[in-house]
Amino acid sequence: MNKKLSKDSRFKGLKIAITGASGSLGKALIEELKRNGAYVIGLTHSKKNNSNSNEIAPDDWIFWSCGEEKLLSSRLANIDILILNHGFNPKEIIDTNEINKAIEINSLSYWRLIQVFEGLTLNNILNKCSPKEIWVNTSEAEIQIAFSPVYEITKRLIGEIVSLKKSKLLIENNNNLIIKKLILGPFKSQLNPYGILSPELVAKKIIIKAETEDYLIIVTPNPITYFIMPIIEFIRILYSRLLIKIYSK
């Protein structure tokens, strides 16, 4: 598939890794980022290549498993942007195994990857390199119903953890790690076969907004989210900053 490359994109020449690279949005992001001149690495749990001849494959693959995030440290050392996009939507809302799996994949593995990637910023400081970026796909389920209570809970959990991390970075005036939160509406995928947005459209909007948005990247047909999410985020960060200052005295 030949597509015209963007000449002026800020992503040109950057090394970008994406988890959930075998999923619908992962594939769309790979194509869009490569169109913008990035070197893209796909992180996946699947040993099978689900791409077809019409899809653009990443420049490299990394196979990994939840719970083994520390093993990725050396592979992520030279990555400029890490996009956390993997997920699990349990079909059973009260099954203990499904709940545990959702918490592990949607929340805990995200948090461990954030910590691993943040630890790598020390090398950037020593070598006077550009800041590393991490984009976290918490989705619109962070603040609204997604007809999957466990999925909503796990997304809300990682969403609030990211808000807390953002607060700490602001207090420390730490510019070595840039966090962007992806608040995405329902797009069609294996997790949500009834999504009303196409993953290709969502990926394009994400890349366009990432050029200018400092933190929140919102892509949804729901106008309420554009109004509510910034307010909720402001309150969370303000609350967290106040508590961090109090407890640090």
The answer to whether residue 110 is catalytic is: no
- Paired with 19 in beta bridges are 43
- Paired with 179 in beta bridges are 134
Within 13 Å, how many C-alpha atoms sit on residue 125's CB side?
A: 9
Average pLDDT over residues 15-29: 96
Report pLDDT for 1: 43
Q: Identify the weakest region by mean pLDDT among 109-113, 146-150, 152-156.
A: 146-150
Report pLDDT for 117: 96
CA–CA dist 166, 237 (Å, integer): 7
Residue 10 has pLDDT above 50, yes or no: yes
Q: Identify the weakest region by mean pLDDT among 3-7, 29-33, 155-159.
A: 3-7
CA–CA dist 80, 17 (Å, integer): 8
* 185 closest CA partner among 173, 169, 197: 197
Cβ contacts of 58-62, under 8 Å, gap ≥ 24: 58/18, 58/21, 58/30, 58/34, 59/34, 61/21, 62/17
Report pLDDT for 39: 97
Angle at which helices 149-171 and 96-103 pack, to 10 degrees?
Answer: 20
Residue 9 has pLDDT above 70, yes or no: yes
CA–CA dist 120, 82 (Å, integer): 12
* Identity at 119, one-letter amino acid code: G
Could you identify the residue written with the tokens 């440290």?
Answer: 73
CA–CA dist 31, 3 (Å, integer): 9
Report pLDDT for 245: 78
- Paired with 39 in beta bridges are 15
CA–CA dist 35, 6 (Å, integer): 6
CA–CA dist 86, 150 (Å, integer): 16
Kindly report, residue by residue over 192-231, the tens digit of the pLDDT: 877 889 999 999 999 999 999 999 999 999 999 999 999 9
Report pLDDT for 105: 96
- DSSP of 10-59, one letter per residue? TTTT-EEEEETTTSHHHHHHHHHHHHTT-EEEEEES-SS----TTSPPPS
- In order of their start, the domains of the chain are 15-248 (3.40.50.720)
Could you identify the residue written with the tokens 């729901």?
Answer: 222
Average pLDDT over residues 151-176: 93
Kindly report, residue by residue over 96-146, the tens digit of the pLDDT: 999 999 999 999 999 999 999 999 987 766 555 688 999 999 999 999 988
Token pair listed for 107: 């929340």
Ranges of beta strands (E only) in the chain are: 15-19, 39-44, 60-63, 81-84, 132-137, 177-184, 216-219
Report pLDDT for 2: 45
Options 39, 110, 151, 194, the catalytic residue: 151
190 in Cβ contact with 24 (< 8 Å): yes
Report pLDDT for 55: 74
Kindly report, residue by residue over 43-89, the tens digit of the pLDDT: 998 766 555 556 789 999 999 999 999 999 999 999 999 999 999 99
